Amino acid sequence: MTDQKLPEKAFPVSWDQFHRDCRALAWRLNGHGPFEAIVCITRGGLVPSAIVARELGVRIIDTICIVSYGEFKQLETLDVLKDVASNVTDMDPKKILIVDDLVDTGKTAKLVREKLPNVHVATVYAKPSGRPQVDTFVTEVSQDTWIYFPWDLGYSFQPPIRGPI
């Protein structure tokens, strides 16, 4: 960990809560399909994509690998490490679902929309700046909140929000 200051507002998400939120996302998406393929934005979209794919019965899952964060902050430029496979890009875009854990500024979702127009974009969590880039989401959090996903957390004491016990 670096000396960089972390955001004041923290939103830790447990595995149980994340699983419930992903199932809620699948519930909302059920009326928008049927989808024939999911493209998950990695790495954050891997877990929600697996849950949504199970719930909606989708068997084709691909990834687009984009680096957008480093050292607890969003990077200025996005780096596409792996693009979507041609067998997916050749599909009817209305049958393709894009899944990510979070839309923050919307830069990543916008890049994916430029590469895959007319697809349905879904995230579990959305911040106000990125929300216009998403068709379906479950929970909105403030722009100045940092979401700690279950894969980022360990079990430890958490001080009360208002201060010492």
- Does residue 135 carry a catalytic annotation? no
Catalytic residue, from 21, 62, 83, 104: name it: 104
- Does residue 62 carry a catalytic annotation? no
β-sheet with 96-103: strand ranges across: 73-82, 60-70, 37-42, 96-103, 120-126, 136-140
- Does residue 101 carry a catalytic annotation? yes
- CA distances (Å), origin 10, targets 3, 64, 151: 17, 27, 15
Catalytic residue, from 62, 100, 135, 144: name it: 100
CB atoms closer than 10 angstroms to residue 101: 23
In contact, 151 and 44? CB cutoff 8 Å: no
- Nearest of 40, 30, 42, 13 to residue 125 by alpha carbon: 13
Q: Could you say which DSSP state residue 109 is in?
A: H
Q: Could you say which DSSP state residue 160 is in?
A: -
| Enclosing H/E stretch for 108 | helix 107-115
Catalytic residue, from 21, 92, 101, 144: name it: 101
Active site amino acids: 100-101, 104
